[in-house]
Amino acid sequence: MAVQKISGKLASGLVIGSGVFAKSLPTVSPYFVGREPELDLMKTHLVKSTHSGQKVFAITGMGGSGKTQLVSYFLQETNKEQTFLTNTHHLELGKMDAGDALAALEKAAHRQIPNPSKEMDDAKILMEKLGYLPLALVHAGSYCHQQSSIAIAEYDEEKTDFLDIVSYLADGIRNQGRWEDAKRLQEEVLEKRKKILGADHLDSLAAAADLADTYGYLGRWKDAEEMQEEVLQKLNKIQGPDHPASMNAASSLAATYRDQGRWDNAARLEEELLEKRRRTLGADHTASIRAASHLATTYRNQGRLKEAEALEEDVLKRFKRIMGDDHHNSIYATANLAETYRVQGRWEDAEKLQVDVLEKMKRVRGADHPHNMNAANCLATTYYLQGRWDEAEVLLKEILEKRTRILGTDHPDTIHAAHHLSRVYNGQGRHKEAEKLLEEVRERQNRIIGADHPESMEAAVVLATIYNDQGRWNEAEKLGEEVLKKRNKLLGADHPKSISAAGGLAATYHKQGRWGDAQKLQEDVLEKRNRIIGADHPDSIVAAAALAMTYESQGKFNDAENILDSVADKSVKVLGAQHPSTQQLVRQMVNLCKKLEKQDKAGEMEKYLI
């Protein structure tokens, strides 16, 4: 019998060796209707095919879309006994069409809805609200049947269980990358929860937390923050600050701080949260270990790389001891440690861990699992940063093909993969291919998530880089100025993305020979970097080096030397002598000292060169 495997979880089955078997045949619902195209496809592949080997068929789809019922009905109709699940043939089960959805609703409600009629109009509105999801339609129809006095239009107002279904549906839609659709449903759920239960009811607060998470996906971090702070304040008052729900709310708020680049706010909250988790649950509890992992990520973003590394090594050690080397928590912890190694410029150490992560992911999760593609993307990034373009290209093409096939061309993860591949093309000097692919990315982003979404603006930044690399500086300037203006308006001038945009625009000015404009922007960038994340942060070091180059280009050698004197030593101390950024800085310093005829000083710096 066929079973489904979704996100590594087995439904109605158990693992025995390398095969997956069903415990029992689920009963076919008396309300099963439609799905003829899907059934025909299954029969073609599993029944009519003349292939003599093992016939396999994978079915995926969001919860409640009817996967189990489809398999049960197929087995009942064909009298098939057993099928093993692999990825030989794949069917993504989507929503029902309008006719089948109406049939399911009518069958469960035990009524024939006149057409045309007001009740039919109401039924169409309800089906749209429920996303044509079979589970939700049968639930609605059954309730209307049990309460014979209830009309279709009254279902959502009369029965609060409807909100549970809509909330469940919104979660599934959000996982599909349909963030705006999820937001609309969640806003409706929250409004009705407040009306029926009150704003302080735990279900209302849970609805608010869900909506805040979706705001985060949409890049509406201020809205998310405001809602999460309110949820946290109320939960602390109602259940106490040490209650698991309160600590979960605090963790979500800290994540939103991270998204805004407010590392200090995130670190303070996460340090407090880690202390609470360990005190109330113990240091080896999964929630405590994950709290340590989140704090390590914040430390990494703050440039506190040694502290991040120490925490991540402790997290990995605990997960391996408690859960084993191949448990997904251990694998994710390994990936996080690899990320810190990469930021430290320890390419070989990072690559070794990332290759191990990818191999384990494929073995444990299966070749096409989304988390495998994330792991492959991290490895590709490590190749990219080393200039190993061809290896990065192979991985990213595979990721893009799989995401397109499994998620569709418009899913945010698919678009993100195309975005990364365009950067590799540009690094290879294939500027026209990079430009064409990135323009396709921008068209989809602007259509799906809007031109002002952070991901859309990031694509614009990369396109400006592509223009720069082709010497199309006026186009790069126009795009860079547009991005900077938007980021300052939407994120604030002190957001890391806004500061990065200013640095990118300054680089364009530099290439145009507009030294004064470049210097003004770079001095502002350096001041903000030093003030917000500290002078020892890797981003501050890079900003100082860029300003020194602009001084040098204008013949301001002494000003350039003063900056490089400080940041070269910091780079050796913070990143290490072997880090690519350190090597670039040292070479910059050596060349400057030779221009100034300071041969002894140049000789001292040369000892750091590899």
Stretch 232-236: mean pLDDT, rounded?
Answer: 97
Give the model confidence (pLDDT) of 492-537 as tens digits.
Answer: 899 888 999 999 999 999 999 999 999 999 999 999 999 988 888 8
The model's confidence at residue 116, banded by pLDDT at 50, 70 and 90, is confident
* pLDDT at 13 exceeding the cut of 60: no
* pLDDT at residue 55 in the model: 59
* pLDDT at 194 exceeding the cut of 90: yes
* pLDDT at 9 exceeding the cut of 70: no
Architecture, CATH, for domain 282-362: Alpha Horseshoe (1.25)
* pLDDT at 23 exceeding the cut of 50: no
Stretch 282-305: mean pLDDT, rounded?
Answer: 94
Cα 314 from Cα 319, distance rounded (Å): 9
Name which of 156-165, 227-236, 378-387, 532-541 the model is least confident about.
156-165
Q: Considering only residues 146 and 276, tell me which one the structure prediction assigns the higher pLDDT.
A: 276
For residue 494, report the phi and psi dihedrals to the nearest 5 degrees: -95, 0
* pLDDT at 358 exceeding the cut of 80: yes
Q: Considering only residues 409 and 574, tell me which one the structure prediction assigns the higher pLDDT.
A: 409
Q: Considering only residues 154 and 561, tell me which one the structure prediction assigns the higher pLDDT.
A: 561
The answer to whether residues 25 and 16 touch, using CB atoms and an 8 Å cutoff, is no
For residue 5, report the phi and psi dihedrals to the nearest 5 degrees: -130, 110
Architecture, CATH, for domain 525-610: Alpha Horseshoe (1.25)
| Helix/strand/coil for 64 | coil
* pLDDT at residue 19 in the model: 35
* pLDDT at residue 296 in the model: 97
* pLDDT at residue 275 in the model: 97
* pLDDT at residue 94 in the model: 58
* pLDDT at 135 exceeding the cut of 80: no
Stretch 264-269: mean pLDDT, rounded?
Answer: 95
Stretch 430-434: mean pLDDT, rounded?
Answer: 95
3-state helix, strand, coil in the chain (%, to 5): 70, 5, 25
Stretch 82-103: mean pLDDT, rounded?
Answer: 60
Cα 600 from Cα 592, distance rounded (Å): 12
* pLDDT at residue 92 in the model: 52
Stretch 151-165: mean pLDDT, rounded?
Answer: 65
pTM for this structure? 0.72
Greatest mean pLDDT among 67-76, 180-189, 435-444 lies in 435-444
Stretch 320-326: mean pLDDT, rounded?
Answer: 95
Q: Considering only residues 21 and 486, tell me which one the structure prediction assigns the higher pLDDT.
A: 486
* pLDDT at residue 285 in the model: 96
* pLDDT at residue 566 in the model: 84
Give the model confidence (pLDDT) of 454-487 as tens digits.
Answer: 889 999 999 999 999 999 999 999 999 999 999 9
Residue type, 485: K
* pLDDT at residue 136 in the model: 72
* pLDDT at residue 49 in the model: 65
* pLDDT at 157 exceeding the cut of 60: no
Give the model confidence (pLDDT) of 385-427 as tens digits.
Answer: 888 899 999 999 999 999 998 888 988 899 999 999 999 999 9
* pLDDT at 556 exceeding the cut of 90: yes
* pLDDT at residue 345 in the model: 79
* pLDDT at residue 60 in the model: 58
**Domain 282-362 matches domain 525-610 at the CATH topology level:** yes
Name which of 104-113, 158-167, 539-548, 600-609 the model is least confident about.
158-167
The CA-based angle 186-188-192, given to 5 degrees, is 115
Cα 215 from Cα 182, distance rounded (Å): 10
* pLDDT at residue 238 in the model: 96
Give the model confidence (pLDDT) of 335-355 as tens digits.
Answer: 999 999 988 878 889 999 999
For residue 578, report the phi and psi dihedrals to the nearest 5 degrees: -85, -10
Stretch 233-241: mean pLDDT, rounded?
Answer: 96
Q: For residue 9, what are the CA distances in angstroms to 85, 87, 246, 410, 595?
A: 13, 15, 28, 25, 64
Signed CA dihedral, 394, 395, 396, 399: sign only? positive
* Average pLDDT score over the chain: 84
* pLDDT at residue 368 in the model: 80
* pLDDT at 596 exceeding the cut of 50: yes
- Per DSSP, 44 falls in state I
CA nearest to 574, candidates 564, 565, 582, 562: 582
Domain ranges of the chain: 1-94, 282-362, 525-610
For residue 91, report the phi and psi dihedrals to the nearest 5 degrees: -125, 120
Q: For the beta carbon of residue 600, count every other beta carbon within 10 angstroms.
A: 7
